Structures are given as structure tokens and as C-alpha cells.
């Protein structure tokens, strides 16, 4: 029996949504935890693995009979590509599959920060009416300048959403869009330093690679307006979390929305419980999670999920993509079902 393994521990009902769409004689399983040894054991005897956030290591690539790893999403920074090449395991991804979901999450974080929604919510839960405190720092999005770092599927989807707010939209990326593409998207190219200086909102929607590692740091943050906000929906390593926390604490940045972290999942107890307003120790001030003017989200990019079964269809598509692309030998390969990594 051919087997597919969902490396991110998944509930039984999620697997049940996929099983009816598998070819006859196939099954799907999942490990009980993210423990590396348990991950390797789960892959034993499997032909394919699907990963969202779980790191795919050398030991996992070395499992006998593994044909391919499918990245559920776009960025493959959690996959050891060198090990994939050595063990001739294909690496696949579905570019653009969750672009709208990530764009909506980015917009949600922008609005939550600009309107102080989370701080107001927490205040009410704690028995405090913070209207007077929050009003001076609540900002509207309409008519503002938004700078998007990265203008791929996600950046373009975000630009479409922002069009309804009448925003001026700047973008930066390694390769400029054509003039026709810029007109269609309603965006204008700007170098990173110009984008940071001009924008009221800066969003990170780029790939994580050597050129974007620690792109947002103490020096680049110093270019931003003190009343600007920053949203990271790319990867944790694109910004230096401690530098962002420091900029917020010192009033050089109004706030940050964080969908991704340098370490995921965020380790329990690190940092300790969020302090009440005004209470910080020296160590906690370095933690972005301790910032009262930061909104956090656990890197959830599920494309669709509703009562009509849209989430189920998304689950099925991810599984089917892996199977359909990997059942036979890769194109141009004479080595059978295993081949060099597609990058």
C-alpha cells in the first residue's frame, strides 16, 4: 500500500477528508507530534510527505523509499534542499495556492493595528475602558501610503484588496513589473529605502532567502516614519524581532503585526506570560511577544474553510497535487520515481 504522511500533526477528520480522493490502494497518516524521531518513524515506508511548517531534515530525506516532499504553501526554507538532492527526493510546491488567504491575513493585521482592535478587546476583557487611551493612536487606512515588499502572487492579491481603500501603493522587488503590470495592479515601484521612508504601512510579503534575511533591522527601521506600522507575513527571518521590539518600545515604530516567527511554533513559556501594561523587566523588553503594540497570529494560511466544505476541498487538492505529480518518473529522469530536487 502506498502511503502519504502529513508531517504537521493533523486531526483524524482532516485525514478523513483526503482519503476518499486518494487512488485505490493508497492511505494517509500523520505523526503524533513534531518530535524528530517520531517524524522519521512516520515516514518509514511512505512514498510521499506533505509539510506545512515542520522542518524536513537530512534524516527524514534519507528514509528508504521516499519519493517526494510537497510543501503546502510557497516558501521552502523549512526543507533541507541539499539533503533532498543527495537522496534524490523531489521537492514540490503549489505557488500561489494560498495567495488570497495570506493577503487577507496581512490586511487583517493592518486593520487590527491601525484601529487598535486587539488592545481594545484585551482591555475590555481586563475590565478596562481604554477609549481615551487608544483614540490618539488609532489611524485610518483609507488614503494612506502602503509599501509592499515583494510583489508576487501575494503582493498582487494584497494590492487588489487595498484598492478599495484608495491607498497609494508602492512596491519593491528584485525584478520590476512591466509598466502594463504596474498599471493593472495600481502600484508603483520604489527602492526599499524610498519605500520605507514614504510608507505609513509596510508589509513584508517576499520570499525568504539570502537577500532578504534580516532585511528589516535596526538600520532599515530607522528609515521608517515613527507613526508607521510594520506587518510581517513573509517569514520570521526577514526581520530581526529584537530590533522591531526595540523600535516599538522606544517610539520609533507605532506597532507591528506578526504572522511568522523566527522559531515556529513559538516555544511555550518563551516569553513568560504577557505583562500588564507598564510592567516590563529588562529581559522581557527584548521580546517582540512582550510588546503591547504588536498583534500576533500563528502563521495560519489555510486557503478556505467554511461550512460548505471549502476547507475540505483545499485539503484534498494539496494531497492530490503531490500524488499526481509524483506517481511516475519525473520528466527527463531516467532514475525512476526518485530524481534530483526540483528547485
CB atoms within 10 A of CB 67: 21
Known active-site residue 174 = no
The cell 487598535 sits on which residue? 116
The whole-angstrom separation of Cα 334 and Cα 128 is 68
Known active-site residue 235 = yes
List the catalytic residue out of 3, 296, 299, 301.
Answer: 299
Contact 306, 101 (CB under 8 A): no
- Residues 6+ away with beta carbon under 8 Å from 246: 218, 285, 286
Element housing 28 (H / E) = strand 26-29
Contact 61, 86 (CB under 8 A): yes
List the catalytic residue out of 104, 133, 194, 264.
Answer: 264
Q: Which of 255, 311, 242 is nearest to 117 (CA)?
A: 255
C-alpha gyration radius of the chain: 22
Name the pairing type of β-strands 68-71 and 48-51: parallel
Burial (CB count <10 Å: 0-12, 13-18, 19+), residue 325: middle
Spell out where 72-122 has E strands.
90-93
The whole-angstrom separation of Cα 141 and Cα 196 is 17
Secondary structure (3-state) at 300: coil
List the catalytic residue out of 17, 67, 90, 235.
Answer: 235
Known active-site residue 264 = yes
Q: Which residues are catalytic?
A: 235, 264, 299
Amino acid at each position: 500500500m502506498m502511503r502519504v504522511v502529513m508531517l504537521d500533526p493533523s486531526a483524524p477528520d482532516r485525514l478523513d477528508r483526503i482519503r476518499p480522493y486518494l487512488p485505490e490502494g493508497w492511505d494517509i497518516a500523520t505523526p503524533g507530534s513534531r518530535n524528530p524521531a517520531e517524524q522519521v518513524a512516520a515516514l518509514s515506508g511512505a512514498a510521499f510527505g506533505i509539510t506545512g511548517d515542520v522542518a524536513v531534515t537530512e534524516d527524514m530525506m534519507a528514509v528508504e523509499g521516499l519519493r517526494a516532499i510537497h510543501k503546502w504553501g510557497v516558501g521552502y526554507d523549512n526543507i533541507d534542499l541539499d539533503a533532498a538532492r543527495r537522496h534524490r527526493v523531489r521537492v514540490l510546491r503549489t505557488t500561489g495556492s494560498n495567495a488570497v488567504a495570506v493577503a487577507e491575513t496581512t490586511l487583517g493585521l493592518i486593520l487590527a493595528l491601525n484601529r487598535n482592535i486587539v488592545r481594545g478587546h484585551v482591555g475590555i476583557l481586563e475590565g478596562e475602558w481604554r477609549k481615551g487611551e487608544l483614540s490618539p493612536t488609532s489611524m485610518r487606512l483609507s488614503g494612506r501610503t502602503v509599501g509592499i515588499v515583494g510583489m508576487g502572487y501575494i503582493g498582487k492579491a494584497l494590492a487588489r484588496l487595498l484598492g478599495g481603500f484608495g491607498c497609494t501603493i508602492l512596491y519593491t522587488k528584485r525584478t520590476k513589473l512591466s509598466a502594463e503590470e504596474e498599471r493593472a495592479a495600481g502600484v508603483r515601484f520604489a527602492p526599499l529605502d524610498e519605500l520605507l521612508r514614504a510608507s505609513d504601512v509596510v508589509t513584508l510579503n517576499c520570499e525568504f532567502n539570502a537577500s532578504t534575511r534580516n532585511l528589516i533591522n535596526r538600520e532599515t527601521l530607522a528609515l521608517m516614519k515613527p507613526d508607521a506600522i510594520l506587518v510581517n507575513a513573509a517569514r520570521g527571518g526577514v526581520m530581526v524581532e529584537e530590533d522591531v521590539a526595540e523600535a516599538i518600545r522606544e517610539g520609533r515604530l507605532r506597532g507591528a503585526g506578526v504572522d511568522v516567527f523566527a522559531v515556529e511554533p513559538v516555544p511555550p513559556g518563551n516569553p513568560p506570560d504577557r505583562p500588564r501594561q507598564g510592567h516590563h523587566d529588562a529581559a522581557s523588553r527584548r521580546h517582540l511577544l512582550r510588546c503591547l503594540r504588536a498583534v500576533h497570529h500563528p502563521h495560519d494560511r489555510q486557503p478556505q474553510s467554511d461550512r460548505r466544505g471549502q476547507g475540505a476541498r483545499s485539503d484534498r487538492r494539496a494531497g492530490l497535487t503531490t500524488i499526481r505529480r509524483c506517481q511516475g518518473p519525473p520528466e527527463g529522469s531516467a532514475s525512476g520515481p526518485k530524481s534530483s530536487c526540483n528547485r
